[in-house]
Structures are given as structure tokens and as C-alpha cells.
Amino acid sequence: MPSMPSEQAENQVVRLLPTQAACLVGVCALWLGSFGLLEAVRLHLAFQWSFFGASLLLLLWAGVLFSSAQGAGRTFELKVALRKQHFVQALAQGLFFLYWGWYWSPLYDSAFLILAQLVFAYGFNMLLCWSRRDRFILGFGPFPVIFSVNLFLWFRDDWFYLQFLLVAFGFLVKELIHWSRDGQRVHIFNPSSFPLAVFSLALILTENTEITWAQDIATSQFYPPHVYLVLFLVALPGQYFFGVASMTLSAVVATYVFGLIYFGVTGVYFFYDSYIPIAVFLGMHLLFTDPSTAPKTELGRLMFGILYGLTTVGLYSLLSQAGVPPVYDKLLQVPVLNLSVQLLDRLGRSSTLRRWQFKPGFLSWGGYKADASRPGLVCLGIWLLVFTGMTAARALGDEHPGQWVPFWQKACRDQRPGACRYLTDMQRRFCDSGSGWACNEAGILRSTWPHPITERPWIRLAEVRALLQQGCDLSFEAACVNLKGANDEVGQFQQDLPTLVDWPIVLRGTKGPLENLSPSGLYARACSQEWPEACGWENGDD
């Protein structure tokens, strides 16, 4: 861990005349506007004016503020405060971005958009603070806010001006909405989680998820290999320094236990391809764990984590049943949980619950008093053991059985709840990625598995024919044979094994693309995923 700046550097204060402060904001505004001149931006007028408009806003606001300050004889202060909390959070988020982007190129291609948001955040926050008082604190503060927002939600090019509005809203909430907590006036809501929740709700109500990259973000975060381990490791310093390990631990365990119970009852996985999706796991490490808006008692933090895990489960179910993309399941509840922290702390300090708390010095939750702000090694040790055990049990990691087609084929044959529908959706995705085998299988399933009484048969038949046609166009022979015989009656369909063209698509599950695998390597992977027909072909050809 890099050494922190000295206390003297953290307390430097510079006095600025209105003209000097205006120059500082002007640099941010002009730098922001310059992004609109990039070739990738100026091809789309709405995209370009997102930068020009945000830049113009900063310039106009600065003009009004500093001209009035000049007349009133005001001066402004710039205080340097490089806080460890902001630096460590930003470092963890930045490392995750670097790893994720290595396997998902659109992230690296859009890195300049994150930089533009940082420039806007500094300019906007300076103006906001100097409009309300004379001092602005300069540090790493905007970094974890911008990084956190971009880990979950980006607006597409034609709607990118909403990204600047989202960022501005977060800083406004942090500046304007406070409460008294333990004798101090502090902000209630995390400046990234609150706007994420509000904008998510707006996108749901207006049915406009498609104007964002939210679904692509949630899907692509699982592409990198060993991504759960990487996220666990980059979050460890923050877990240690800021005492939030118990929040993550309790959230993960609560969600996992629910998943085990659900699997025991239904025979399928609640989140389909994992016990805890990577985007949810990310929220449990780098979103709801802000120590400034979390409970201060250890029992309160444990309850806070449990509530986050269970509300994620509830929101996923609610959103899915409502036909809404469930990518918002880890975002909507955080502001409500932030409002509960004082109640949770009161419960954590109550005599009824405190008797169940381990005492300091004997395996306490962190080996310290309930109100301590830093966890001890015991709590981190427990979390390390839990993470290791869940990884070994394939509850976390790249080898979860719910990713693979054979599991869902068996679950569909056994008529497990939702299994045939999910298998069809899975094969449609593979079909759209270029697998003729998956098109054929999706067409057969669409024709044969039970359907609602209200469904029109001719609509289903049209979908079946379209899938079989797509498979035939991809040169999968069985799909061409089935296409010729497709009619209103359920008939015999021809099936076959995936070809060497299909295997790299089908075997990836929900991970990133498989590349540079030999035929024997593909068959070995297929056998490990419990395709019995592929076993013994490791040295053969298709």
C-alpha cells in the first residue's frame, strides 16, 4: 500500500481571489468541452452536446458566482485533504476496472468518458461548495463516486447528458441532505448509490433500460477469469482499514443460504448461473460498504449486510416477475438501508442483542469494541475462510454448474420450475452468437415445452420456424431437416451434437468467449461440463 500523504500536506489551505478561483473552474470547464472535439464524439451531435452543454453550465455558473463575489469582496479557500478512505476505495475500484476492461474492450474504448466525468465532478463540486461557503476541500473524493457510478450504470451516446446529470445529482444530495448522527451533522446517503437508485427507478418506470449499458455491464463483468477472486483481493484493504468486512460477509452468507434453501426446494438456482451474480458480489464489496453511511456498531453492520443480501433477493424476484431487467436489484435498496443505520445502531447497542456479541479479546467480531471503526484480523479471517469454502464448493467462481447447458437440460426434463424457459433463453443467446446447434435446440424447445393456454399457436410456430431457419442458415443440417417438417402439429425433431463451430459458443456458458482451444481441448471441456457424448473424444475430430 502506498504511503499516505503527511498530515501537514493534508491541511494545506490556499486563499484565492475570485479571478483565481474562476480560472480553476474554467480549466475544468474548457477541458470538459474539449472532449466534444474527439473524433469518437463529434460523429453524434447529441453526444457532442452532452460535453458542450455540461461545459457551458459550468462556465455560466462560474460567471454568475465569481462576478458577484468580486463585487462583494469575497475570497475563497482551497484546502488539500487527501483522505485514506477515498484513496483506498478508488484504488480498489480502479484495479477492478483495469482487470475487467482487459477482457471487455468497450470499457477501455470508453475510458475517456470516465475521465470526462471526473473533470465535470471536480468543476461542479467546486462551484457547489463555493456557492454555499468559502472553502472547497480538494482530494480524491470524486474518484470513488465516479468509479462507483460507472461500475453499474452508463448511458449510451445519445443520452450521455444524463450521465452528467446523474453525477451532479449525487453531489447535490451529499451537500444538501444531512442529519444529526452521534452529535455531528453528516450526509445521509452515499453520493453514488443514491443517484443510482433514483435513476434506476426512473428507468424502470419509463421502461428505458435500453438507453443504458446496464445489462451489458452486468453481463460482461463475469467475462474475466477468476473475477470473484480478483474482486475479493482488491477489496481487502478497504475491508481491513474501514471495518466493513462484516457487512460483506453477512450479505454474502445471507444470500448464499437463501440460494441453498431455494435449490433444495426447487432443484434449480435462484440466480440461474450462480449463487451470487458477480454484479451483486460487486455491490457487496464496493457499493453499499461506504463506512460514512453504514452503521458504526458491529452488530448493526451485520444486520445491515443481511438486509442488503435479502433485499437483493427480493428485488430480483420482484423485478423479474414484473418483466423488468433485474440489473437494478443491487441498487434500489441502498438509500433505504442508509436511512436505517441509526435504528440498526440502536439495536446493536441494546442490551438484548449485545449479550449475543463476542467479547473483545476472545474471538470478537474483529477483536474490538462494538463501536470501533477498524476491524481486527479475526473478522477478516472468518471472511477469508468463508470465501475459500464457497469457492471450493463452486458457489463462487467460474465453475458453477448453473452456467452449463447439461444442468438445464436435465432440469428441463425433470420439469423443474422455470428450467425449460431459462434453457430456451440460454440457447437463444448462443444462437444469436452464431451456434446453429443452439438455434435448432431452441426451436425444438420452443415447440415442445408447456406453454400458457392463452398463447397463440401460430405465433409459437412462427418463432419455431424462425429459429430453425437461423440454424439452417448457420449450416446446421438437423435444423434444415426440421425446418422442412415444421407444422402446427408436434412431430419428431432431429437432433445432433454441437459441431466444432458450436462448441466454443456453447461451452462458454455466461463467461467470456473461448479462444484458441484445439478440438481435443473443446471435447475435454465439454466432458468436464457433463456432456456424456463428448467424453472419450478428446483425441478425435468432429
DSSP 8-state symbol, 4: P
* 322 and 420, same domain (yes or no): no
Please count the structural domains in the chain.
Answer: 2
Whether 496 is in a domain gets the answer yes
DSSP 8-state symbol, 540: S
Q: Count of CB atoms within 10 A of residue 357's CB?
A: 16
Higher-confidence position of 368 and 385: 385
- Which of these ranges, 103-112, 167-176, 367-376, has the smallest mean pLDDT? 367-376
CA distances from residue 186 to 1, 90, 176, 292, 400 in whole angstroms, order as listed = 28, 21, 10, 8, 42
* 386 and 289, same domain (yes or no): yes
- Which of these ranges, 57-71, 449-463, 515-529, has the smallest mean pLDDT? 449-463
For the sheet containing 135-138, what is the strand order?
Answer: 13-16, 76-80, 135-138
pLDDT surpassing 80 at residue 224: yes
Whether 328 is in a domain gets the answer yes
* 324 and 466, same domain (yes or no): no
pLDDT at 182 (0 to 100): 84
Summarised one tens digit per residue, pLDDT across range 326-348 is: 999 999 999 999 999 999 999 98
Which of the four pLDDT bands, split at 50, 70 and 90, describes residue 533?
confident
* 247 and 272, same domain (yes or no): yes
* 454 and 342, same domain (yes or no): no
CA distances from residue 408 to 124, 348, 442, 529 in whole angstroms, order as listed = 50, 43, 13, 12
Summarised one tens digit per residue, pLDDT across range 424-482 is: 999 999 999 999 999 999 999 988 866 555 556 656 788 889 999 999 999 999 999 99
Average pLDDT, the chain: 89
Which of the four pLDDT bands, split at 50, 70 and 90, describes residue 372?
very low
Angle between helices 227-242 and 245-266 (to 10 degrees): 140
Looking at 354, 373, 401, which one is the last position of a domain? Answer: 401
**Residue type at 309 in one-letter notation:** G
Q: What is the average pLDDT across 366-389?
A: 66
pLDDT surpassing 80 at residue 362: no
Nearest to 405 by CA among 438, 432, 382, 454: 438
* 243 and 349, same domain (yes or no): yes
Whether 450 is in a domain gets the answer yes
Q: Which residue pairs from 85-89 have beta carbons closer than 8 angstroms and sit at least 24 positions apart in sequence? A: 85/241, 85/242, 85/291, 85/292, 86/139, 86/140, 86/141, 86/143, 86/144, 87/4, 87/140, 88/1, 88/237, 88/238, 88/241, 88/242, 89/143, 89/144, 89/147, 89/238, 89/286, 89/290
Element (H, E) at 354: helix 351-354
* 467 and 363, same domain (yes or no): no
Whether 239 is in a domain gets the answer yes
Looking at 375, 401, 427, which one is the last position of a domain? Answer: 401
Q: Under a CB-based contact definition with an 8 Å cutoff, are residues 308 and 190 in contact?
A: no
pLDDT at 461 (0 to 100): 82
Q: How far, rounded to the nearest angstrom, does the alpha carbon of residue 223 sit from its chain's CA centroid?
A: 13
Summarised one tens digit per residue, pLDDT across range 70-91 is: 999 999 999 999 889 899 999 9
Q: Provide the grid cell at 224.
A: 474475466
pLDDT surpassing 60 at residue 489: no
pLDDT at 485 (0 to 100): 75
Looking at 337, 369, 401, which one is the last position of a domain? Answer: 401
Range of the domain at 281: 224-401
Whether 212 is in a domain gets the answer no
Higher-confidence position of 162 and 514: 162
Pairing of strands 76-80, 178-181: unpaired
Whether 198 is in a domain gets the answer no
* 395 and 411, same domain (yes or no): no
* 269 and 388, same domain (yes or no): yes
* 477 and 498, same domain (yes or no): yes
Q: Which percentage of the chain shows pLDDT scores above 90?
A: 75
pLDDT surpassing 80 at residue 9: no
Whether 419 is in a domain gets the answer yes
Which of the four pLDDT bands, split at 50, 70 and 90, describes residue 304?
very high
Whether 247 is in a domain gets the answer yes
DSSP 8-state symbol, 359: P
* 264 and 394, same domain (yes or no): yes
pLDDT at 141 (0 to 100): 94
Our CA dihedral for 376, 380, 382, 388, rounded to 10 degrees, sits at -160
Which of the four pLDDT bands, split at 50, 70 and 90, describes residue 492?
confident
* 374 and 458, same domain (yes or no): no
